[in-house]
Chain A
Amino acid sequence: MSRAARWVRRYGALIRNAWLVDLQYRASITLWLLWGVTEPAVALGIWWTIAGDGPVAGYARADFARYFFALMLVNQLTIAWDSWYLDSWIREGELNFRLARPLHPAHEAVAENIAYKARTAGMILVVWLLVALAWPAVRLPLQPGRWALTALAVLLAAAMRFFISFTTGLLAFWTTRATAIMDLHAGVSLFLSGRIAPLALLPPAVAGAAAWLWFPYMLAFPVEVLTGAAHGAALGHGFAGQVVWLGVWIAGYRLAWSRGIKRYGAVGG
Chain B
Amino acid sequence: MRSAELQWKIEPWGKARGTKPVMTFRVPHSAFRILGALWRLNLAEELQYRANFAASVLGTLFWIGTALLTLALFFGHTTRLGGWDYWEVVVLLGVFNALTGVVEAVLRPGIGRLAAEVRSGSLDLVLAKPVDAQGFVSFRRLDIWRLADIPLGLGLAGYALARLGRVPSVAQLAAFALALVAAAVVVYTIWVVLMSLAFWFVSVENLSVLFDAVYEGARYPVSAYPTALRFVFVYLIPIAWTTTIPASALTGRLGPGIALAAAAVAALAFALARLVWRMALKRYTGASG
Contacts and interface: CB of A to CB of B under 8 A. Distances in A.
A148 interface: no
A27 B219 contact: no
A42 B81 CA distance: 13
B128 interface: no
A201 interface: yes
Contacts of B207: 31
Contacts of B204: 27-28, 31
Interface in A70-114: none
A174 interface: no
B78 interface: yes
Interface stretch (B38-46, B66-74, B150-158): B66-74
B48 to A, nearest CB: 15
Contacts of B62: 184, 187
Interface in A5-55: 24-25, 27-28, 31-32, 34-35, 38-39, 42, 45-46, 48-50, 53
A257 interface: no
Interface stretch (B24-32, B222-230, B248-256): B222-230
A130 interface: no
Contacts of B124: none
A50 to B, nearest CB: 5
B224 A35 contact: no
Contacts of A56: 77-78
Interface residues of A, number: 31
Contacts of A201: 73, 76-77
B206 A42 contact: no
B205 interface: yes
B78 A53 contact: yes
B3 interface: no
B17 to A, nearest CB: 44
Interface stretch (A190-198, A225-233, A239-247, A261-269): A190-198
Contact of B77 (A28, A38, A57): A57
B97 to A, nearest CB: 15
Interface residues of B, number: 33
Contacts of A202: 73
Contacts of B55: 177, 180
A197 B73 contact: yes
Specify which of B59, B77, B216 lies most central, judged by the most chain A CB atoms within 10 Å of its CB: B77
Contacts of B201: 27
Interface string A156-195: 0000000000000000000001001001100100110000
Contacts of B225: 45-46, 49
A141 interface: no
A97 to B, nearest CB: 23
B66 A203 contact: no
Given A28-B204, A38-B217, A197-B73, A46 B209 contact: no
A100 B284 CA distance: 42
A50 B78 CA distance: 7
Nearest to B72: A203
A203 B75 CA distance: 12
Nearest to B211: A35
A154 to B, nearest CB: 24
Contacts of B209: 31-32, 34-35
Contacts of B219: 42
B69 A49 contact: no
B203 interface: yes
B213 interface: yes
Contacts of A183: 59
B190 to A, nearest CB: 14
Contacts of B257: none
Contacts of B220: 42, 46
Contact of A45 (B63, B212, B213, B224): B224
B108 to A, nearest CB: 14
B66 A31 contact: no
A196 B226 contact: no
B70 A50 contact: no
B73 A187 contact: no
A34 B226 contact: no
A134 to B, nearest CB: 13
B82 interface: yes
Nearest to A43: B70
A50 B73 contact: no
6 contacts: A28-B206, A35-B210, A38-B212, A42-B217, A46-B225, A201-B73
Interface of B: 55, 59, 62-63, 66, 69-70, 73-74, 76-78, 81-82, 201, 203-207, 209-210, 212-214, 216-217, 219-220, 224-226, 229
The 9 A-B pairs of least Cβ separation, nearest first, read A38-B213, A35-B209, A38-B216, A27-B204, A35-B213, A50-B78, A56-B77, A45-B225, A28-B206
Interface of A: 24-25, 27-28, 31-32, 34-35, 38-39, 42, 45-46, 48-50, 53, 56-57, 177, 180, 183-184, 187, 190-191, 196-197, 201-203
Given A34-B209, A201-B76, 10 more contacts: A28-B204, A28-B206, A38-B213, A56-B78, A180-B59, A184-B62, A190-B70, A191-B73, A196-B73, A197-B73
